């Protein structure tokens, strides 16, 4: 099912989904919704946006470091022992 949301002059398509929450998380989410006068959907959408943005940052960091040489774990441990760090 697709519906349309009209907020701050923007039209956005929304999709309906069924999500199952741990009962304590659901209670906390409902309380936050009431305290902040924000719908459950808005809270969940924002949490998902933040998570995806964090993933995008991680992927960008991986891309930046793609050309760096790989260091085998064993070599790193041997080097630390050789230098008296472990």
Number of domain units in the chain: 1
Q: What is the dihedral of CA 43, 15, 56, 47, to 10 degrees?
A: 10
Distance of CA 43 to the CA centre of its chain: 13
Q: What are phi and psi of 46, to 5 degrees?
A: -65, -40
Could you tell me if residue 16 is inside a domain? no
Could you tell me if residue 11 is inside a domain? no
Could you tell me if residue 56 is inside a domain? yes
Residue 57 lies in domain: 23-82
Span between the terminal Cα atoms of the chain, in Å: 59
User: Could you report the average pLDDT of every consecutive run of 10 residues in the chain (86 residues)?
Assistant: 58 88 98 98 97 97 92 95 96
Q: pTM of the predicted model, to two decimals?
A: 0.65
């Amino acid at each position: 099912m697709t519906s349309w949301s009209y907020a701050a002059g923007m039209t956005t398509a929304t999709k309906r989904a069924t999500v199952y929450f741990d009962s304590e998380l659901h209670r906390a989410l409902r309380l936050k919704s009431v305290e902040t006068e924000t719908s459950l959907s808005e809270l969940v959408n924002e949490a998902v946006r933040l998570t995806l943005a964090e993933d995008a940052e991680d992927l960008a960091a991986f891309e930046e470091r793609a050309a760096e040489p790989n260091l085998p774990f064993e070599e790193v441990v041997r080097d630390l022992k050789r230098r008296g760090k472990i």
